Structure formats: structure tokens, C-alpha cells
Amino acid sequence: MIIDNKYLLTLWHGLGWMKKTVVKPKKFTVGSIVCSSEYCAPRYKEHFFANDAFPLGSIQTDKLFDEDFKKDCCKKIKDKYQIPSSSKIIFFAPTFRIGEEHHYYNFGIDIEKLSERLQQEDVYIITKRHHVFDSLMRDKGIDCSGVKDSQNGRFIVDTEFDFNELITVADCFATDYSSGMYYAFVLNLPVFLYAIDVKEYISGANGLEINYPVEVPVPFVGEPSIDKFIDAYKASFSATLTEEYKQYKIDNVGSCDGNVANKILLHIYKNFFSEREIPEEIKLNEEVLEQEKLESQAKLENLGTDNVITTTKTSVKEDSNSTVVDN
């Protein structure tokens, strides 16, 4: 979209199609928008009042394909928290709630009791508070979430590493309604949902665009139960083998292939520069991207074959007009 002789291309931070995002076009003009999949493109175009929506992928996911970055993060985080290489790690990343007076989240489960069970299973949970929490703490100074470091070190509240670093060390990703789960789908990680306030969340100032949790093909826990939490964790590994998981990944992050930055550069050059102005490396990238697209499609056919865990139980799913809502 051309505004004042300038092309406006918005790189949205969220992935996938789940959270409601209300935008008043006069206050927040996106021009054209880049999104994470072909499925999301028409939805983003309508939702953001965009001129166009281009399914080039989300640029922040490129880092997740950097093997050196992932190895470095894994070493730093495991060294920091003294996590053995044989132990499993759940990265738990809940979102915030609009309208809460004193806290952004209520975990609902006793951390110490859960941590005892985690030790039995040889599992660690690392959680990262949403950045909105910092603002609430500055304003209110009260944390009623119940989220804290456990005495045995199995439940860790991290304040040092960023989201991309933490998700690279995870063996499993857990959340309530955060679109951060789509980063986990990019990495083919097992995912499960833990949300004990679904009705309140959907009917309140927050909101979702999908039939949650039914449309998300992963285990769901809707009550504060340690047993069900652990069962959902175990069941999440086999869920990655399903056709539903594979299709959900394609629908929501199908364009996130590790080459998003190159695709965006190519889009800009091809639309706003003459052929002779396009650098040779950009032209070569177009050929490389096409080849890597074919390789990526082939990988999807073998998606999740390493994520198998044996378990005797399975988790079953239970059946404003001016703000910009963060994912």
C-alpha cells in the first residue's frame, strides 16, 4: 500500500489464526501485511483492514532454523539451571488477561506438589511471564498468579532468556491461549493446552477467532489437576504424528520455512526495483527458495516421527473498538 509516496508493509509479530485483534484503521494503518501462511492471508487482510496480505511467513521464526543458535541456547539454559541432558523440558508460556485487577494469570495448581510429580517423571518446567506482567507489577506490586520457583528446582520462572531462546530447548510446549504455540508448531514440538478459565476468557475482554480448544489438535486440560496435566504432557508426543497436527501446522505456519527474510527482500525488490537493480544474490535466493520449498514439503510428510512417547493414558478435549490486542 502506498501512503505519502511510501510503501507500508507491516510485519505482524503474531503467528497463526487464533487471537482476536481489534484494529481501528484510522488509528493503526497496516497498509499491506505479511502473515505466516496462505490460510491466514485472507483472514489477516480482512481483520487488519489491509490492502493486501502476503503469506511470506513470519520473519522472527527464521532464527528457529539456525542450528548453531539452537545448540548454543540449549547449552546456556541447561547449564544455567543445571538440567541433565537426559531430562525433558516443558516450556510453559501463558498469555495475559485483559481486565484483571491484580494479576494476569492464575495457574491454579500447587507448584510444590506439581514439582514433586515432575521429579518422578524426570521433567522440568520453565515458564516465562508475559511482558504485560512487568507493567502490572510496576503498577500494582501484587502477584497473585501462584507462579514461582519450586523448592526442588523442577519448576523454573525464567527472567534471563527470551522466548526464542527458551523454545529451542523445549521438548514440549504448553500454553493456555498464547499464539506462541505456533512457534512450537514451526519446530514440530509436542504441544498441550492448559486453560482453566475458558468461558471467562472467551466471554470477557479477551477473545478468540476459533472454536477453542476443539480446533487445536493437541491435548487439552480444563481443570487444575496434576494428573491430567501430566497425562496431557505425555499424550502430546503422539499427537504430533497425526494428520490433524500436520494440517494445522500447514494452515497456520506453512510459510515459516527459515527463509522468510529472503522472501520479504525478494518481494520488495521484485515490486519496487527494476530487474537490473536487483542484486545477484537476491536473484539466486529465488532459485534457492523454490528448492527449499520443495524440501520443506517433503519433510512435512515425515513430520513428528521422533516425537513418540509411550503412555497408558490419553488426554481428551473438553467439550472495543479502539484497542490493539497483543498476541
**What pLDDT score does 309 carry?**
44
Angle at 9 between CA 271 and CA 23, to 5 degrees: 145
Q: Please tell me the distance from the alpha carbon of residue 291 to that of residue 285, in angstroms, as a whole number.
A: 10
Is position 171 within any domain?
yes
Query: pLDDT tens-digit profile of 295-317?
Result: 665 655 565 555 544 333 333 34
Contact status, residue 220 vs residue 213, Cβ threshold 8 Å:
yes
Total number of residues shown for the chain: 327
User: Residue 96's domain is classified under what CATH number?
Assistant: 3.40.50.12580
Is position 38 within any domain?
no
Q: Please tell me the distance from the alpha carbon of residue 264 to that of residue 236, in angstroms, as a whole number.
A: 33
Is position 236 within any domain?
yes
Q: What's the domain count of the chain?
A: 1
Is position 201 within any domain?
yes
Q: With CA atoms as reference, report the closest residue to 160 among 133, 126, 132, 137.
A: 126
Is position 46 within any domain?
no
What pTM was computed for the model? Answer: 0.83
Q: Look at residue 45 and give its three-state secondary structure.
A: helix
Which structural domain, as residue segments, surrounds residue 162? 62-249
> How high is the mean pLDDT of the chain?
83
**What pLDDT score does 273 carry?**
79
Is position 94 within any domain?
yes
Is position 40 within any domain?
no
For the purposes of burial, counting CB atoms within 10 Å of the CB of 290, is it exposed (0-12), middle (13-18) or buried (19 or more)?
A: exposed
Query: pLDDT tens-digit profile of 116-170?
Result: 999 999 999 999 876 666 655 555 555 556 678 999 999 999 989 999 999 999 9
